[in-house]
Amino acid sequence: MKRRNSLMYLPLMVAALAVVQVVSPRNCVGQEPAVSTGDRIRVKPLVRPKDRLTGSFISAANDTLSFESRSEIRRLALSDIKTLELSTGEKSHLAGTLFGVIGGAFVGGLLGAVINKALDDHCSEYCGWTGGFIGLIAGGIGGGFAGYHWLAHEQWVNVPVADLRVSIGAGIFRIPVGR
């Protein structure tokens, strides 16, 4: 008979432990946002899709994204954001280098040929080829260096807007807050 009475209290004890698990703040799991304060972000709103706003992330609270762009604080509703991108802090130099090499080689070759032709008093049929070749090499190297440094593009990664919404839950059970 005693064993039967202790089994009756088992569901009550499990329910009490579940309540303690849910209420205990140390067991609450918050979803970490993918973006942290100060990160460089680029936002494309739904209202005017051609306008991209770039700035520093401040916060995402109450379904509103706050960031600083051009020395002013802007706020957008998360539901009004088409895309949100996070800067990786890296730059892609490949396209700038290739464009610089091709453009520099073309301009250098053309200028080298024209200058060689103008300076050579005894111009023959193949006059300017030497200057063109030297200009092609020098222009390609110079253009490659210039393109590497000045034509590099910032790398961006797409961040789902849903990652900015915070959900609070206990252990396995998730209780979404917000949208």
User: Span 89-94, mean pLDDT?
Assistant: 84
CA distances from 66 to 87, 97, 144, 175 (A): 17, 36, 39, 24
pTM: 0.51
Q: How confident is the model at residue 95 (pLDDT cuts 50, 70, 90)?
A: confident
Burial class (CB in 10 A: 0-12, 13-18, 19+), 15: exposed
pLDDT in tens, 58-86: 988 878 889 998 889 999 888 888 889 99
Q: What is the mean pLDDT of the chain?
A: 78
Between 42-46, 105-109, 128-132, the lowest mean confidence (pLDDT) is in 128-132
Q: How far apart are CA 57 and CA 38, in angstroms?
A: 5
Instruction: Kindly state the tokens that stand for 10.
Output: 């088992």
Give the side-chain half-sphere CA count within 13 A for 15.
5
Residue reference for tokens 């059970």: 173
